[in-house]
Structure 1
Amino acid sequence: MSAQSIFSLQGRTALVTGSSQGIGESLARGLAEAGARVVLNGRRMEALETAAEVLRADGHEVDLLSFDVTDAEAVRAAIDGYEAESGPIDILVNNAGMQHRAPLEDFPAEAFERLMRTNVTSVFQVAQAVARHMIPRGRGKIVNIASIQSALARKTIAPYTASKGGVSNLTKGMAADWAGYGIQANAIAPGYFDTPLNAALVADPEFTGWIEKRTPAGRWGQLPELRGACVFLASDASSYVNGQTLFVDGGMSVTL
């Protein structure tokens, strides 16, 4: 195969959870531009339809699959239904997640549990539902979205840090269990990116100044800069890469 063809996703279908905006929407666009049919997921159908319209206007094939990633029964029903009606899901990108900030000594127990359900349990549930179809086919790609907080901690986000460390280690476990079935499971760990959810931080001169000083690249990451890593991990180019967490962070995680 040529160097160009091993990155092609032509003829493949990619489900991206939490893809109505931000990182998920950008990754879905990157996969679509590499040739994949993309399946957008979220809880709000109107937001998914808006995102789909933009992608379709650029000539991309888009399906919508609205379900709550924290609801195990809904996940299983949605995945099984799509596989039966529309065909195989070749690529899964587990992107859905949330943040909650509070000093650890004051962190509400219910917020901790909600964060874990959204950031860790959902990754297990969606991956398991998709893998059950990938295993008989003997192939599949799973890309979990971890974080720079998989390796580093900051004040007020200790539970988020724990959840993203869990995603990185769960990714290793997926590789250990499923590599023998021809499935590659890897993770992307973004650093600090300019997203709608980070808009307040981007607008804060003090925080942005800290980002610029702390990051060797000297700036916030831009969403298109995550697409190449995702296409690599979703394509044949990464056929012998398994259980890895790829940091895309401008060098922040490797410097003091």
Structure 2
Amino acid sequence: MNDATGGSDLASVASIFRPGLLDGQVALVTGGGTGIGLGISQLLAELGAHVVMASRKPANLEAARADIESRGGKVSAVQLDVRDPEQVKAAVDGIAQQLGRIDVLVNNAAGNFYAPSATLSPNAWKSVVEIDLYGTFYCSQAVYPIMAAQGGGRIVSTSMTLHYRGWPMMAHATAAKAGVDALTRTLAVEWAPQRIRVNAIAPGPIPTEGVRKAFTPPADSGVPDVFAAADARMAEYAKKGIPLGRWGSPRDIANMVAFLASPAGDWITGSIFVIDGGEWLAKAPS
């Protein structure tokens, strides 16, 4: 069942995957404690994977871990700043030593906010590019020797759709995510001999609490604030601005990650999958 603002009914969507599909696999999800990352963590755990959620904020991890454990899932949590390559390597090596392998890496950690390009501070630029792009590379590089030694693995990185058409006041994020797309294609070709499949997902508008906060533009910017609107207005935007007529949900994105992590993704690498109900094709930004 779908609705204009809330996305898909979780039970009906989850049933498309075979129970135990990912039994025995270990999946590391950065930014895995909230929003889209939590949706991915939940679904991979439901399908039998041991999910390791990583985040800079331990409070987010504890709540998410309790939720997944209450559903019978296997889950661990690790505090991790993906901007620190030494910390990333230590965490990845620790996971592999404890659990024996890493089959899936989901590079989901991100930091985005509206800021005018003309006055964007060096620290603001650096922070977003380091989380979104550097973090994706550091984590991918850290899992490479583990996946290569075990005969393969899956890397799924989170991109976005805004850089496909240009988006005002998001220069830092769009530049970083364009880099994620390029990195995805390069690593896919370079690491194919090791049977490491490298793909990316580009979510469209998913109104999680984190997105609502990060993508709320300044009041005097002239940029429409669609997320802060009332439910009725959000439903109207979904009807007019998203061809499929509804907002997305974290489970919509998680479905593609699960597909790529499954045997169905064996011959897919170097692809960026847009998952946005057709929104990026509908119109250019104001």
TM-score when normalising by structure 1: 0.93
Q: 1:109-167 CA deviation, whole Å, 9 max, x = no partner?
A: 21111110010000000010011211122210000011112423221112211111111
Distance verdict in 2 for CA 1:207–1:161, change over 3 Å: farther
Cα distance in 2 for partners of 1:91, 1:133 equals 11
Cα distance in 2 for partners of 1:199, 1:51 equals 19
Give the RMSD, CA atoms, in angstroms. 2.0
Tell me, yes or no, if structure 1 residue 159 matches structure 2 residue 186.
no
Distance verdict in 2 for CA 1:202–1:153, change over 3 Å: same
Partner of 1:220: 247
Q: Which runs of 5+ in 1 are unaligned?
A: none
What pairs up with 1:125-204 in 2 under 5 angstroms? Answer: 125-199=138-212, 201-204=226-229
1:30 Cα deviation from its structure 2 partner? 1.1
TM-score when normalising by structure 2: 0.84
| Structure ranking higher in helix proportion | 1
Distance verdict in 2 for CA 1:207–1:150, change over 3 Å: farther
1:44 Cα deviation from its structure 2 partner? 2.0
1:168 Cα deviation from its structure 2 partner? 1.0
Q: Which runs of 5+ in 2 are unaligned?
A: 1-15, 214-225
1:105 Cα deviation from its structure 2 partner? 1.0
Partner of 1:248: 275
The DSSP-based 3-state class of the residue aligned with 2:112 is: coil
Report the identity percentage.
34
Aligned residues, how many? 254
The DSSP-based 3-state class of the residue aligned with 2:190 is: helix
Partner of 2:7: none
Cα distance in 2 for partners of 1:7, 1:245 equals 26
Cα distance in 1 for partners of 2:273, 2:43 equals 17
Distance verdict in 2 for CA 1:107–1:4, change over 3 Å: closer
Please tell me whether the aligned partners of residues 67 and 75 of structure 1 are also in contact (alpha carbons under 8 angstroms).
yes
1:118 to 131, 136, 144: 131
Cα distance in 1 for partners of 2:258, 2:167 equals 29
Tell me, yes or no, if structure 1 residue 17 matches structure 2 residue 30.
yes
1:204 Cα deviation from its structure 2 partner? 2.0
Distance verdict in 2 for CA 1:226–1:180, change over 3 Å: same
